Structures are given as C-alpha cells and as structure tokens.
Structure 1
Amino acid sequence: MNSPKEKSRLLWACRRGMLELDVLLRPFVEEAYDDLDDEKKVNFKRLLTCDDPDLFAWFMGHQACKDPQLAEMVRVILSRVKV
C-alpha cells in the first residue's frame, strides 16, 4: 500500500505539459495504481520520467515504445481508459 505522501507525489508527477497526458495519467493513479503489482508500480514510476513528446507518441500510437516494460505500462493504462 502506498502512503498518502507517495500518492501525492505520483499525482504531482502526472501533471504534464500536455492535457492529453494529464487526462490519461492522473485518473490512472487515482483509480488503478494501487491495484498494480510491485513490478508494474516501478515501471509506472519509470514511465513518468519519460519526456512528454515520447509519452504522447506512445499513447497516441504514433510510435512504438522500444522498452518492453514501458510499452506494457502504456497498454495497461490505455486499457483502463473509459470510452
């Protein structure tokens, strides 16, 4: 379980320079992050260190992420998006 301080840090890290990323990442942390296993939590935190243009390209399907663990996190996040 994450401490409230840890969760606050993650939510802050989800504030990006692109609204498109904000609307994907913040709800994911609020609704699904706690259910991830430890490995996926580490991968999610690593994903948050990536540059916004790369994240945007991966989430929008403009290019594939070459890191298989990060690519899996992108898939997990996109699978949680409510249409």
Structure 2
Amino acid sequence: MPGVGENPEIKRLRWRCRRGMRELDQLMLRYLDRRWPMAEDAERAVFLQLLDCEDDKLWRWFMGRERPENAELDALVTLIAGLPA
C-alpha cells in the first residue's frame, strides 16, 4: 500500500502530486508510484518542474489541447499520459 513506511521525500512528493483535480492527481501519483523509483536524476528534475506548473496548464497539456514549450516537459507529459491506468 503506497504511503506506508515511505521516506519523507516520497511523502512530500505524494502531497505535491495532489492537485485538487482527481484526473491530475491520478496521473501524477501514477508516475510517482510506477516511474519515479527507476527514473534517473534528470527525469526526476523534470518531474519536479512539472509539479511547479499551474493546474490549468497541466490539464491542457494532459488533455492534448496544448503542448509545453519545453521539450523535456513535453516528453514527460507524453510519458505520463501513456502510463497504463
């Protein structure tokens, strides 16, 4: 069960993944649970940048209405959107 016995960094990230919109919460937490543990430092840094973005931008990006100008953010949004539910 995610959350039990996690280190403080993961707990903070899990909290930051809560966006107040269920769909965004699920996407962010899915990445954190499935990809973060194996991600390299560069990918983790891009995810942290993604967490700093405004929810309305994230929503438009994940719904395919817009694309991030930053190529690394764009690649990560594509990766996260493609993770199986």
Q: TM-score, normalised by structure 2?
A: 0.87
Match of 2:36 in 1: 33
Q: How many residues align?
A: 80
* Displacement of 1:20: 1.2
Distance in 1 between residues matched to 2:19 and 2:53, nearest whole Å? 11
* Displacement of 1:17: 2.0
Gaps of 5+ in 2: 1-5
Q: How does 1:1-83 map to 2 (within 5 A)?
A: 4-82=7-85
Task: Decide which moves more: 6-15 or 25-34.
Answer: 25-34
SS across alignment from 2:52:
coil
* Displacement of 1:18: 1.2
Q: CA-atom RMSD, angstroms?
A: 1.2
Distance in 2 between residues matched to 1:11 and 1:54, nearest whole Å? 20
Could you tell me whether the CA contact under 8 Å between 2:60 and 2:66 is conserved in 1? yes
Q: TM-score, normalised by structure 1?
A: 0.89
Q: Percent identity?
A: 34
For 1:31, the aligned partner's letter is R
Gaps of 5+ in 1: none
For 1:35, the aligned partner's letter is M
